[in-house]
Amino acid sequence: MVTHPPAPLSPLKGVHDGIVYITCWGGGQLCTMRDTFTEFGGSMLANKYASDVRARNISAAALDEDGCIVEDHNHECFHKLVNVMRLRAIVRRPDFRGTVGNSKPSPMPAHLAPAMTEMLNYLAIDHERFFSALDSPL
């Protein structure tokens, strides 16, 4: 029986095949489709990741040792934001005919609200619109 050594891990490329690979300090990795970042209009994230030009030009200096793009945000807040954008993207697809649970994101923990508001303001996402999305079905 011939055994071969495992193939070396190939680092991610930050943005690859329409998927963005991101890490926030202390919070692990996440990945999502580039189009997900357009769910809150012309935000900084949409400009950074949904733009073909910007996504192709993310430098190696912006990547961590695993090849993920580093976002310097509270990881709980950033993950919550991405999950809300994912849910919005799913229920707004023209071919979507089902439900996603109750199609309502889980509530924002009170202790994270100030950090979330600060992050949303920095990213040019209307925090009132974001928080209202948490309070009603998408």
* Mean pLDDT value across residues 108-120: 89
CA–CA gap between residue 125 and residue 94 (Å, rounded): 24
Residue 7 or residue 84, greater confidence = 84
Q: What is the pLDDT of residue 9?
A: 47
* Mean pLDDT value across residues 112-134: 86
Helix (H, G, I), strand (E, B) or coil at 11: coil
CA–CA gap between residue 98 and residue 52 (Å, rounded): 31
Q: What is the pLDDT of residues 31-78, one digit of tens each?
A: 999 888 888 878 888 888 887 767 667 777 778 888 888 888 999 999
Share of the chain above pLDDT 90, in %: 12
Share of the chain above pLDDT 70, in %: 78
Confidence label for 7 from pLDDT (cuts 50, 70 and 90): very low
Measured CA angle at 111 (ends 74, 70), to 5 deg: 5
Task: List, in order, residues 6 or more apart from 88 with CB less than 8 Å away.
Answer: 39, 133, 138
In the block, residue with structure tokens 């609200």: 113
| Helices and strands counted in the chain (H then E) | 5, 4
What does pLDDT average to over the chain?
A: 79
Task: List, in order, residues 6 or more apart from 45 with CB less than 8 Å away.
Answer: 37, 123, 125
Confidence label for 119 from pLDDT (cuts 50, 70 and 90): very high
CA–CA gap between residue 25 and residue 72 (Å, rounded): 6
Cα torsion at 85, 59, 121, 118 (round to 10°)? 100
